[in-house]
Amino acid sequence: MYETVKLQPGILTLTFVAPEGEAADAIIRPIVPAASRHAVTLMFEPGNLSGALTEPGEFCVIRCGQPAVLGIEISTPRADGRPRGGIDLTYLSQRGPDPAPDTRLGADYVVHLSGYGDRAARFGAWVEGDTPDLAIGGLMLTPRSGRPRIMLQDPTSGQIAPPGMFLGSHGGFRPLSELRMWIEEPDGRNRLSVEADFAEAGRVRAAGTMVSLHGAGPGDRLLRLNMALTPLTNGAAATPAGPARRNDRIRIFRKT
């Protein structure tokens, strides 16, 4: 079954909870509708690659930058019967809506350099800090009309960010050690061409409609980045992987 929940700007958690007095038997999957992708980012626990909650106590963190709607799909792994399980939706903090992205400089994307701040970049040009200790801790694609929608993911945390939202830490607390990006609904005309320099792994290159860049390990640091959106010459495209008030709580249960 599928339900929707209205969200207000803030940070909140979505937790799988078992029905009282019964064993849980459900798969709970948060789904960001297309109309809310500009405002909502989901971050799952390390190791959760499915984007679903399957056991009581499992959770994901939600960042909501604008009033939005979140879909909740609750299903059962059994062929017969109804799911037994529910969610606890808890606001950890609330704030005003995000400001509109600043596109006055014509930047294609913005990186956040740990200990320094934001730096705008254009496709096809390298972006880096002034010194080697300024690693890239955050990344945001600038929303552009008439351009393919490019999604970003940090495989280490599971966070996914659409254009207009920062991936990673905008405060620069943890440099990126891995990076995944893909063209949503590729039309066969464009591909991503990405180069990155890591402190330990050195230079890594990848191209396609979905690309992944990996450092030497979780402790590696992304130092330089060069992204480009280039036309496909053979017309072949790879298939991308698909992915209130303070302390308000919303509980939804479905059981037999």
Whether pTM > 0.85 for this model: the answer is no
Neighbours of 255 (CB within 10 A): 16
> Is 36 strand, coil or helix?
helix
> What pLDDT score does 209 carry?
93
How far apart CA 101 and CA 121 sit, in angstroms, is 14
Please give the order of strands across the beta sheet that includes 40-44.
40-44, 59-64, 10-17, 85-94, 249-254
Token representation of residue 5: 């929940």
As a dihedral over the C-alpha atoms of residue 215, residue 221, residue 223, residue 229, rounded to 10 degrees, the angle is 50
- Tell me, what's the pLDDT at 173? 61
Tokens linked to 191: 């591909």
Rounded CA-CA distance 219/217 in Å is 5
Which pLDDT score is estimated for 103? 46
Cα 56 to the chain's mean position, in Å? 23
Mean per-residue pLDDT pooled into runs of 10, the chain (256 residues): 91 92 88 82 84 92 89 84 88 73 67 83 92 87 84 89 81 79 88 95 94 93 94 55 46 54
